[in-house]
Amino acid sequence: HTEDELSRSSHSNPGKSLVNGIKTNPASSSPKSGLSVPVGPPVYVDLAYIPNHCSGKNTDLEFFKRVRASYYVVSGNDAANGEPSRAVLDALLEGKSQWGENLQVTLIPTHDTEVTREWYQQTHEKQQELNIMVLASSSTVVMQDESFPACKIEF
């Protein structure tokens, strides 16, 4: 199909749905079901919220290969539901390692969880290699001889 044909068919076919912004057939509801993701350039943004509270249900390596952010927000705080997911945090490292450029990335967890603490400790050297900095959720801001707690980012 040419690009025009694909564009026309996606507008006229209401049976198609979107998963993580990727067109899929209704029978295949998971982005990890072997779909071929269209080739395209990565998107560079200042701030990206890792979808679904950093759950592995909707976010994988492809997200971090495609969405290249200076800051990623991790808001998961539900261990029973796998939020945040260790696999997603590992996917960040793998995706960043494939960028081909060593841009500074800051990870902002909004909650102090066992998963993020263990991941941070176990992958600290890899984070340094990849120029990834993790801000502690209990950060402080210092301005002109005063310091005060940093605000958490909540969505």
154 pLDDT more than 50: no
For range 113-132, the mean pLDDT: 93
**Residue 36 pLDDT greater than 70, yes or no:** no
pLDDT of residue 12: 43
| Alpha helices (H) along the chain | 3-12, 51-54, 61-66, 86-97, 114-122, 124-129
pLDDT band at 151 (very low <50, low <70, confident <90, very high): low
Ranking 11-15, 92-96, 133-137 by mean pLDDT, the lowest is: 11-15
What's the mean pLDDT in 38-62? 86
Cis peptide preceding 26, ω within 30 of 0:
no
Residue 33, pLDDT > 50, answer no
Residue 19, phi then psi, degrees to nearest 5: -130, 115
Predicted pLDDT of residue 16? 43
Residue 111 has pLDDT above 50, yes or no: yes
* pLDDT of 10: 42
Instruction: Give the pLDDT confidence score for residue 8 in this predicted structure.
Output: 44
Q: Whole-model pTM?
A: 0.65
